[in-house]
Amino acid sequence: MDQFKILYRDSKSKARAGILSTPHGSIETPVFMPVGTQGTIKTLTSDEVNDLGFRIILGNTYHLFLRPGLETIKKAGGLQKFMSWRHSILTDSGGYQVFSLATRCKMTEKGVEFSSYVDGTKCELSPETTTSFQLDIGSDVAMCLDVCPPFPSLKCDAKDSMERTWRWAKRCKETYQDWLVEKFPDKEQPRPLLFGITQGASFPDLRRDSAKQTAQIDFPGYSIGGLGLGEPRKLTWELLEASLEPLPLSAPHYLMGFGTPEDIWEGVERGVDMFDCVLPTRNGRSGQAFVSAGRINISNADFKEDFSTLDPSCECACCRNYSRSYLCHLFRAGELLAPRLLTLHNLHFMISLLRKIRLSIIQGSFLQEKKKYLDGLCEKEKIYS
Amino acid sequence: MDQFKILYRDSKSKARAGILSTPHGSIETPVFMPVGTQGTIKTLTSDEVNDLGFRIILGNTYHLFLRPGLETIKKAGGLQKFMSWRHSILTDSGGYQVFSLATRCKMTEKGVEFSSYVDGTKCELSPETTTSFQLDIGSDVAMCLDVCPPFPSLKCDAKDSMERTWRWAKRCKETYQDWLVEKFPDKEQPRPLLFGITQGASFPDLRRDSAKQTAQIDFPGYSIGGLGLGEPRKLTWELLEASLEPLPLSAPHYLMGFGTPEDIWEGVERGVDMFDCVLPTRNGRSGQAFVSAGRINISNADFKEDFSTLDPSCECACCRNYSRSYLCHLFRAGELLAPRLLTLHNLHFMISLLRKIRLSIIQGSFLQEKKKYLDGLCEKEKIYS
């Protein structure tokens, strides 16, 4: 069965609105996925994430592989049951985290060796193990193991990484197909998906080559990796376009690690369907709130006696109940309720934004709405930091 | 009007069940009050505390006085509005915290001088200022400023402290009466209450004298302070009995800072109506959960693959959704959801316990229920730490 259906296409841009089906339900796209690194969207219960309206979240293979580990999650009946989440989960492959976070990391053609940050033991991730790990814990959308070069990179290094990513992608797909035959033989039901990842660093021609090669392997979806690593945003969008161009239009496109409101508008315009980012949750924990005019830091002294809500147009449980003054007090007093309330608010902000974007695609007003939104930010640029 | 009504008395002990009325509603006694030091029950929203069934919480004058301070709370419309809490608040006088936490603390007959931990400025609390601060921020049950000697203390020091506490109590009451005349003239409505605090350290005769003297000033309620400071529990109960004996039976009795299940049974048996303690919340944040058989520390490796709930008989949102294994994972991973879920569970445990105690008084089975409860703990002593 076709698990991704595009329902509306914008006539003036590449934006599209669709439905992605997984073993744990359907997801309206474009979608923003909150990051639940260690099997929890930090500070929130699964019920709260559900009540906010999210139907897919992200889990990090690197962290879950090390703690609590495959055996515990399998005994719990899968990651969904373990964390009491009824809907879909997308998992990354762990590659990015291994390269950026792990110590004593050593890569060969076989895979990656590294030391566990939990207990120092030597661990290995290969295209085969990361694919089966993701599928075995109950991932609905799994990722191929990729090699993500830093920015800037030499072109020869970028090419090597891209080619290894492509060779690994073929091994991931083999593991995936064997797993499906054994565990999910029924082709009429939504099955877990494996996305190929395109790389190519900051070189448009490599981006195009990587996407072409990856598309030839034929995946049910494609991720654009290795962007947002410090390159200027103008280049980001040029590289994104180069990556997207060779990919099948009918497949879902996932731009990894992007999640500011501006980035989401830009990505959707170019044909991206899926986004994830730690920003709304991580920045929420440090006091930064998304508001219609941009972002504010609530621990700022300006808010000590500001008895209005974070965002007057917001209907989240934080804004329904608490003032900026109270939130400012909580942050200054180091209270644990503070990161929780701002996480809730920021995720409510994100899901409202994605609903607005999707509706504008359906109504044929995407570019107008995008302009209106970005103009709204610029007018009040001084509070946008 | 009489704001405290005793509805049932146990015939075989001094336990009683009553109703305490305040400007923000009625409270069934015996009652356990969760501690909201800085204007929040740590990790929980006011809605959650309400949904758990609590109708009175505690705020700490010392902390609130320093941050956010009187002016901010007044501008917010009072502490209830500031923290979005609809029900009653009991505040302590700040005395205990000043003596135990503050630096450069200097006491005279006038009051206490100390340095603010927020910005180092010199602050003062006197019987007059602490009383009017509590009433001005909207406290429903305010406390007199007292002097709480450490354990052990010399008898002469204990006597000095007790006598100063008594002289200060008279000044607090004067402030309170003036405040009522000005701000709450209507005697037919529930008005904020000011409780006298009895001291007397570890000397039963001083305890009796202090209670007698304090009762002579005539307060609408009485607190028993200065217990649980390290003295053996047998002595605690002897001193509590000495403190309670001279107090009017018709007034509410509040045992400050006690809140283990065992302590609550013992206190209620002796005629205590109100309790507060940081234990269920503070210990919850460090992984300790109250369960019917005692207490467990959920981060213990024993629970890594225990897929049962914290307490099989519990119906709280934590136990309805999450396993011990998941909670153990959250604690080990340092996730902020962990302290939140255990705080919720422990407070649910406490309110269920208090309901059980109150019902047993009404049904005339208090002592049997107490025995049953404590026997249940002892049987499984090995997991009770």
Q: How far is B44 from chain A (nearest CA, A)?
A: 6
Give per-residue pLDDT as tens, A123-182: 999 999 999 999 999 999 999 999 999 999 999 999 999 999 999 999 999 999 999 999
Q: What is the largest CA-CA distance in chain B?
A: 62
Model confidence band, residue A102 (pLDDT cutoffs 50, 70, 90): confident
Angle between helices B127-136 and B155-183 (to 10 degrees): 40
Position B310 scores a pLDDT of 96
Q: How far apart are CA B137 and CA B373, in angstroms?
A: 39
Most A CBs within 10 Å, among B41, B45, B64, B303, to test the A interface: B45
Give per-residue pLDDT as tens, A36-47: 999 999 999 999
| CB-CB contact of A373 with A265 (8 Å) | yes
H or E element at residue A261: helix A261-269
Res. A332: pLDDT tops 60: yes
Structure tokens, A373: 């939104």
Q: How far, CA to CA in Å, does B242 sit from each of B158, B203, B204, B219, B260?
A: 15, 9, 6, 18, 21
Position A382 scores a pLDDT of 39
For residues A176-196, average pLDDT: 97
Q: Which ipTM was obtained for this model?
A: 0.96
Beta bridge partners of A115: A103, A122
- Chain B partners of A67 at a C-beta cutoff of 8 Å? 329, 332-333
SS3 category, B238:
helix
Q: How far apart are CA B243 and CA B205, in angstroms?
A: 9
- Chain B partners of A322 at a C-beta cutoff of 8 Å? 84
Model confidence band, residue B380 (pLDDT cutoffs 50, 70, 90): low
Q: How far apart are CA B66 and CA A329, in angstroms?
A: 11
Most A CBs within 10 Å, among B40, B66, B322, B330, to test the A interface: B40
Model confidence band, residue B223 (pLDDT cutoffs 50, 70, 90): very high
Res. A101: pLDDT tops 90: no
For β-strands B141-143 and A122-125, DSSP reports them as unpaired
For residues A312-341, average pLDDT: 97
From chain B, which residues contact A within 8 Å (Cβ)?
38-40, 42-47, 63, 67-68, 71-72, 75-76, 82-84, 285, 304-305, 307, 317, 321-323, 325-326, 329-330, 332-333, 335-337, 339-341
Would residue A276 show up in a list of annotated catalytic residues for this protein? yes
For residues B183-197, average pLDDT: 96
| CB-CB contact of A228 with A259 (8 Å) | no
Domain boundaries, chain B: 4-276, 284-383
- Chain B partners of A38 at a C-beta cutoff of 8 Å? 329-330, 333, 335
Res. A378: pLDDT tops 90: no
Q: How far apart are CA A166 and CA A172, in angstroms?
A: 10
DSSP 8-state class, residue B383: G
Position B379 scores a pLDDT of 59
Give per-residue pLDDT as tens, B66-84: 999 999 999 999 999 999 9
Position B265 scores a pLDDT of 98
Residue type, A44: L
Question: Over chain A, what is the mean pLDDT?
Answer: 96
Q: How far apart are CA A160 and CA A179, in angstroms?
A: 29
Q: How far apart are CA B26 and CA A58, in angstroms?
A: 46
Percent of chain B at pLDDT > 90 equals 94
For residues B340-364, average pLDDT: 98
Beta bridge partners of A197: A223
Structure tokens, B64: 């609130």
Position A321 scores a pLDDT of 98
Structure tokens, B76: 């917010």
Taking an 8 Å cut-off on Cβ atoms, the answer to whether A339 and B337 are in contact is no
A22-55 burial code (b ≥16 CB/10 A, e <16): bbbebbbbbbbbbbbbbbbbbbbbbebbbebebb
Structure tokens, B222: 């009485």
Q: How far apart are CA B39 and CA B369, in angstroms?
A: 35
Neighbours of B252 (CB within 10 A): 28
Give per-residue pLDDT as tens, B127-186: 999 999 999 999 999 999 999 999 999 999 999 999 999 999 999 999 999 999 999 999
Neighbours of B123 (CB within 10 A): 21
DSSP code string of A70-104: HHHHHHHTSHHHHHT--SEEEE--SHHHHHHH-EE
Angle between helices A233-244 and A261-269 (to 10 degrees): 40
For β-strands A25-29 and A16-22, DSSP reports them as antiparallel
SS3 letters across B91-127? ECCCHHHHHHHCEEEEECCCCEEEECCCCCCEEEECH
Position A366 scores a pLDDT of 98
Model confidence band, residue B383 (pLDDT cutoffs 50, 70, 90): very low
Chain-centroid distance of CA B51 in Å reads 19
Taking an 8 Å cut-off on Cβ atoms, the answer to whether B307 and A75 are in contact is yes
Give per-residue pLDDT as tens, A198-236: 999 999 999 999 999 999 999 999 999 999 999 999 999
Task: Give the class (CATH, top level) of A4-277.
Answer: alpha beta
SS3 category, A142:
strand
Res. B226: pLDDT tops 60: yes
Q: How far is B331 from chain A (nearest CA, A)?
A: 11
Res. B99: pLDDT tops 90: no
Q: How far apart are CA B301 and CA A215, in angstroms?
A: 45
For residues B265-278, average pLDDT: 98
From chain A, which residues contact B within 8 Å (Cβ)?
38-40, 42-47, 63, 67-68, 71-72, 75-76, 82-84, 285, 304-305, 307, 317, 321-323, 325-326, 329-330, 332-333, 335-337, 339-341
For residues B11-35, average pLDDT: 98
For residues A37-58, average pLDDT: 98
- Cα-Cα-Cα-Cα dihedral of B297, B303, B308, B309, to 10°? 30
Q: Is B168 left (phi over 0), alpha (psi -120 to 50) or beta?
A: alpha
Q: How far is A328 from chain B (nearest CA, A)?
A: 9
Position A230 scores a pLDDT of 96
Position B385 scores a pLDDT of 36
Give per-residue pLDDT as tens, A225-275: 999 999 999 999 999 999 999 999 999 999 999 999 999 999 999 999 999
Instruction: State which residue of chain B sits closest to A118, comparing Cα positions.
Output: B333
Give per-residue pLDDT as tens, A215-224: 999 999 999 9
Model confidence band, residue B100 (pLDDT cutoffs 50, 70, 90): confident
Could you say which of B38, B71, B339 has the minimum Cβ distance to residue A333?
Answer: B38
Chain-centroid distance of CA A56 in Å reads 10
Give per-residue pLDDT as tens, B285-296: 999 999 988 999
B4-276 domain in CATH 3.30.429.10? no
Tokens 């990722």, residue?
Answer: A143
Most A CBs within 10 Å, among B324, B326, B332, to test the A interface: B326
Res. B384: pLDDT tops 50: no
DSSP code string of B67-84: TT-HHHHHHTTSHHHHHT
For residues A56-81, average pLDDT: 98
